[in-house]
Structure 1
C-alpha cells in the first residue's frame, strides 16, 4: 500500500518529539484522520519508541477494524484507540490529536490551579483555548474517554489534570505546533512561578487580541515549522518516510 503524505507528516512529528525529549518511552499517542473522515485515523503502533517510528508503523483504525484492534493491545495501545477514537468522532475540529506527558505540561497539570496565565506571547496563544479535565479516574479506557470528549467541548486543547496535555488541530502542522508551543509556554509559566515574585499577567483583552493575531497570522507558521522539521529529517533520518 502506498504511503501517504499524511503518514509521512505524522511520522515526522514523532521523531521530532523524541528529539525534544517530550516523549515517554513507548507511551503517548498522536493521530490524524484520513481526509474527509472522522472515524478513520492513523495512530502509532504499540511498543515503538517515538525516535524509531516510520510512516509504515502507523496503524489505520477504521469502523470495520476498531473492535478487533481493541482486543489486540500488542498492535495499538487500547487507551489510544479509546481516547483518540472518541475525540475524533465527537469533536469536528479535532482532525489531528497529540497526547503527550511532556515534562512542563505534565507538571502544570499537577497544580491545584493548572490554568496557564497569560504572561507572554506563547502563554497568550492559549488564552481561553484550553479546557481543564479535572476528573482523572485512571487510564484512558472507554468511560474515561467519554468524559474527556465532554470536557474538551469547543476548545482546541485540553489539559488533563494529573496526567498531561492534548492538543488538536485541523492539520498535523497545527496540532503539533500547538503541542510544541504549549510545552514552551508551560516552561515559561512554571519558571516564572518558581521565582516567587508577583506575575505580570496581561489583561483579558490583550491576551485575547494576541491569541487572535497568532491564529490569523499572515503566513502559516505551523506549516513552515513542520516543513523545516521534515527538511532536517530528510537529511538526517530519511527512513522516517518509509
Structure 2
C-alpha cells in the first residue's frame, strides 16, 4: 500500500474533525504530502469520515494523477496540490466548515488579532475571494491570498489551515475556530480591541518554540 502511514493519518484526523465539531457529515477535506515520493494522501469525495479506512484514502501526485485507490479524491484536491507546489514548508492541509470561522468568511471579513491565538496563522487570517468549490479559480485565489500565513478564510465557504505536519494544521484549525468565536461574540456587544502588530511579533516568535520537541505527526 502506497503511503500507508499518511493514509492512516487522514483516517485519524478525519475523525478528529468530526469529534471537534470542525465539520459535519462529509464536509471539508484533508491531505498529507510525502515530499520524498512526490505523492499525497487525500480524503475521498463524499465518504463518511467514520466509515473511512486507509484503503479508501486516495494517493495522488502533485499533478492530480491518481496513483492508488478505487475512490475519487476530494473535489477540492486542486487547492491542496497548488499549496504544496507554492509552499515548500507545507506538508499537510486541513479544510473545515467550522461554524464561527465560516461565519467570519460569510461576512467577507478577515480574522484579525482579536486574541493572540490568531498567531497560529500569523498576525491575522486573510480572506480569499469567493469561487466555486473545486474550481481552478478557487485554487488560484487560495495561493494568491495565503502568502506566508498558515491559514486562509474562503469567502462564503470555510477555512484552510496548513502545517509542516497534519497535527500542526489541525491545531491551527481548532485554535482559529476559537478565535473566530471570540471575534463574533465580541462584535455582538461592542468593538473588539485588536492586539497590535508588535505584540503579535512577540507571540509568533514564542510560538516557534512552544510545545514539545519533535512536534505532532
- Structure 2 residue 189 is the aligned partner of structure 1 residue 190: no
TM-score, normalization by structure 1 = 0.78
Q: Distance in 2 between matches of 1:62 and 1:53?
A: 21
User: Structure 1 residues 212-221 or 141-150, which shifts more?
Assistant: 212-221
Distance 1:145 1:124, change over 3 A: closer
Aligned length: 216
CA RMSD of aligned residues (A): 2.7
Which residue of structure 1 aligns with residue 51 of structure 2?
Answer: 52
- Structure 2 residue 153 is the aligned partner of structure 1 residue 159: yes
Q: Matched residue of 1:212: which SS?
A: helix
Q: Distance in 2 between matches of 1:87 and 1:146?
A: 9
Q: Which runs of 5+ in 2 are unaligned?
A: none
Matches within 5 A, 1:121-136: 121-128=116-123, 130-134=125-129, 136=130
TM-score, normalization by structure 2 = 0.86
Q: Distance in 1 between matches of 2:65 and 2:158?
A: 26
Which residue of structure 1 aligns with residue 165 of structure 2?
Answer: 171
- Structure 2 residue 88 is the aligned partner of structure 1 residue 92: yes
Which residue of structure 2 aligns with residue 237 of structure 1?
Answer: none
Which residue of structure 1 aligns with residue 104 of structure 2?
Answer: 108
Q: Distance in 2 between matches of 1:158 and 1:222?
A: 22
CA contact (8 A) 1:101 1:165 kept: yes
| Partner of residue 212 from structure 1, selected from 198, 205, 208 | 205
Distance 1:163 1:222, change over 3 A: farther
Q: Distance in 1 between matches of 2:55 and 2:136?
A: 27
Distance 1:52 1:127, change over 3 A: same
Q: Distance in 1 between matches of 2:115 and 2:62?
A: 43
Output one character per residue of 1:84-135: Cα deviation in whole Å (capped at 9) or x when no partner: 12222222222111111111110011224x222323332344342533212x
- Structure 2 residue 82 is the aligned partner of structure 1 residue 83: no
Structure with bigger RCO (C-alpha 8 Å, 6+ apart): 1
Q: Which one has the bigger helix percentage?
A: 1
Q: Matched residue of 1:130: which SS?
A: coil
Q: Which runs of 5+ in 1 are unaligned?
A: 227-242
Output one character per residue of 1:163-195: Cα deviation in whole Å (capped at 9) or x when no partner: 111100011111111111111111111112122
Which residue of structure 2 aligns with residue 19 of structure 1?
Answer: 19
Which residue of structure 1 aligns with residue 141 of structure 2?
Answer: 147
User: Structure 1 residues 14-23 or 87-96, which shifts more?
Assistant: 87-96
